[in-house]
């Protein structure tokens, strides 16, 4: 599924920007966080990806819950 998702990514990721590099480095240095988030995402990811594709939205939108809730269905905003 991840290969399919990456193949459909279409936005400019501005990887040369310092802010993007800082966040990228943090994620690379915290593989446990990534593993935890994506194990939580597993029950939802396929459905979300299908809905994003059906609506013609950028596939990167599948990653919004990583930032918003870590794919935790019981997450609450402060």
Among 35, 42, 50, 68, the active-site one is 68
DSSP string across 18-67: HHHHHHHHHHHH-HHHHHHHHHHHHHHHHHHHHHHHHTT--GGGGGHHHH
Question: Could you give the CA distance from residue 40 to residue 37 in angstroms, rounded to a whole number?
Answer: 5
Phi-psi region of 71 (alpha: psi -120 to 50; beta: other; left: phi over 0): left
Whether 51 is a known active-site residue: answer no
Residues known to be catalytic: 68
């Amino acid at each position: 599924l991840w290969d399919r998702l990456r193949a459909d990514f279409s936005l400019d990721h501005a990887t040369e920007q310092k802010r993007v590099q800082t966040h990228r480095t943090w994620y690379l240095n915290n593989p446990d966080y990534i593993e935890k988030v994506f194990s939580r995402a597993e029950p939802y990811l396929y459905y979300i990806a299908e809905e994003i594709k059906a609506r013609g939205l950028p596939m990167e939108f599948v990653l919004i819950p990583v930032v918003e809730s870590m794919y935790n269905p019981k997450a609450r905003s402060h």
